[in-house]
Amino acid sequence: MRIALAQQNYVIGDFEGNREKIISGIREARNQHADIVVFSELCVCGYAPRDFLEFNDFIEKSYESINKIAAEADGIAVIVGAPSRNENPKGKDLYNSAFFLENKKIKKVIHKTLLPTYDIFDEVRYFESNTTFETVEFKEKKIALVICEDLWNTVQYSLYVTTPMDELKKQNPDFIINISASPFDYRQATERISMLQEITSSYNLAIFYCNTIGAQTELIFDGGSLVMSPNGKVFDEMPYFSEKINFYDSDEVQKNALQSNEQAKEKIKLIHDGLIQGIADYFKKLKFTKAILGLSGGIDSAVVLCLATEALGKENVFAVLLPSEFSSEHSVSDSIGLCKNLGVEYDEISIENVFNEYLKSLTKQFAGTSFNIAEENLQARIRAGMLMAISNKKGYILLNTSNKSETAVGYGTLYGDMCGGLSVIGDVYKTDVYHLANFINQRKNIIPKNIILKEPSAELHANQKDSDSLPEYAILDKILFQYIECRKGPREIFDMGFEKNLVEQILKMVNTNEYKRYQTPPILRVSPKAFGSGRRLPIVGKYLS
């Protein structure tokens, strides 16, 4: 049997656009003599539709689209993902389903059993869990058709009491087809393969696993659709971050692959490519063209400028230098050097006059006080005011340049440098921002060396250095990683050998700055635990704070 896996990029709620893309995939697969073409989870409406699912109108539009797609299932079987209605008045209104289309009709609807509800996932919010298990019969083969998480209940990942494959195995399926919308992080492709290997070894079946690609605001999908032989060898891993249809002969896959055909998995390159996809789709899907950002002379804004230029083209990025009396001379010259290396347009606007005018207007309120965080934050807010004024005037979208380390400890100004439509590196620790800079410079020396070598500084008062307020990033990032990604408590982190006071101080900074992160722009997610919808903490609370 010839199976086509269609790895495509959808827009949430764009039923027409998604349908056109799916139909063109069906036609290509039919031309290439495929017996079945497989699309990804919830491809009809785009993943994740979130509370749009609560609108009856949205579900109706989805059904209309499925019927139009079914009309194309002629001489080829088609598997698409979409919500389906639960006819039982008890329980949630919907299932997360795979529609098996054949002979211009819906032949079978298979529902998802394991509904991820952790991190960025909220599926129980919308869907009822499936409780009946049946393979799909097609051309004398029995297919175990499952949806994404349905495979993720193994020895390594044991979040659920039910194991759908244990039920389906009883019907002696010939192979497994899985439709997924499995979000990217730098470690996900490795985990996915490891999990599928556990599945093949448990059930001795070939797997055809179709994932989506593209970014949906903060969530990035990497593709990397997989075909695995029953012996656990990767028969093929489709490329990351590109749309593609590949074709496979199921008999050949079942014969067991001898050699793994895998994509390279280098963490910094994956993060880099993920961020490019994230920026590009944010602009493309919202129909924006141009980005604006403030360039401080530091490494964070430099890296974001490089990424934006790669994602959008140098003609679509506009940099603004906003020096104050506290800006060092090299901040401006390094920034100009970077813009010239990239060939992007830039402007320089001093914030000094507006700053002084603010201080004049606030004479009464500031009387008798000395320069402190109020004046520091004011500068950051004036910069944001300038950038947003240009953004509003020209229709450019402001990119945020905060990194994960400073976002974690609240080392940033709300309504100042924390502004922007999209946070590009808010899920990248400072130490990895350096790695990204070096990765970018590997191909060509774009980022001036001085930007990489200088000591980090917010330059909001004379001779300020990040190290005045923060421990060195090499240590800070390690402690943050244990707390945020690994969810270790203070006692567990002390026991790893970090200093007690330092750990307590850092954890307190993270917890007391939840209020700032609440108002932060969406952050492109590249790690297993990003700030945003995947990490939900109370603002008012008293725990490690």
Active site residues: 41, 112, 148
User: What is the nearest approach in angstroms of its own copies to the Cβ of residue 444?
Assistant: 30
Residues 368-387 that bind its own copies (CB under 8 A): 369, 372-375, 377-378, 381-382, 384-386
Binding its own copies by CB under 8 A: which of 109, 490, 494, 528?
490
∠ CA 124-182-526, rounded to 5°: 110
Q: Which is nearer to its own copies, 163 or 328 (CB)?
A: 163
Contact 522, 216 (CB under 8 A): no
Residue carrying structure tokens 């989870």: 41
Within 17-56, the residues that bind its own copies by CB under 8 A are 17, 46, 48-52, 54-56
Q: State the Cα–Cα distance between residues 425 and 544, nearest whole angstrom.
A: 26
The nearest distance, CB 409 to its own copies, in angstroms, is 17
Site pattern 128..157 for its own copies (x: CB under 8 A): x-----------------------------
* Residue at 251: amino acid letter: D
Nearer residue to its own copies within complex by CB, 430 or 488: 488
Secondary-structure percent of the chain, ordered helix, strand, coil, rounded to 5: 40, 20, 40
**Residue 299 near residue 456, CB atoms below 8 Å:** yes
Residues 6+ apart with CB under 8 A from 13: 45, 46, 49, 52, 58
Residues 6 or more apart in contact with residue 284 via CB below 8 angstroms? none
518 in contact with its own copies (CB under 8 A): yes
In total, the chain counts a number of residues equal to: 545
Only one residue has tokens 């490690």, namely 544
- Residue closer to its own copies (CB basis): 32 or 377: 377
Binding to its own copies (CB under 8 A): which residues in 100-119?
A: 117-118
User: Which C-beta is closer to its own copies: that of 239 or that of 490?
Assistant: 490
Min dist. Cβ of residue 251 to its own copies (A) = 35
Q: Which residue among 392, 442, 445, 450 contacts its own copies (CB under 8 A)?
A: 392
Compute how many residues bind its own copies; rule: CB under 8 A: 99
In angstroms, rounded to a whole number, what is the distance separating the alpha carbons of residues 40 and 44?
9
- Rounded least distance, CB 312 to its own copies, Å: 15
Least spacing, CB of residue 175 vs its own copies, in Å: 26
Choice between 87 and 140, CB closer to its own copies: 87
Q: Which stretch binds its own copies (CB under 8 A): 203-211, 306-314, 350-358, 424-432?
A: 350-358
Cβ atoms of 296 and 331 within 8 Å: the answer is yes
Output the six-digit token pair for 132: 């009946």
Nearest Cα residue to 85 out of 70, 100, 98, 96? 96
Q: How far is CA 247 from the centre of its chain?
A: 27
Which SS3 state, helix, strand or coil, does residue 55 take? coil
Q: Quote the least distance from Cβ 250 to its own copies, whole Å.
A: 32
Q: Nearer to its own copies by C-beta: 496 or 539?
A: 539
Binding mask 426-465 for its own copies (x = CB under 8 A): ----------------------------------------
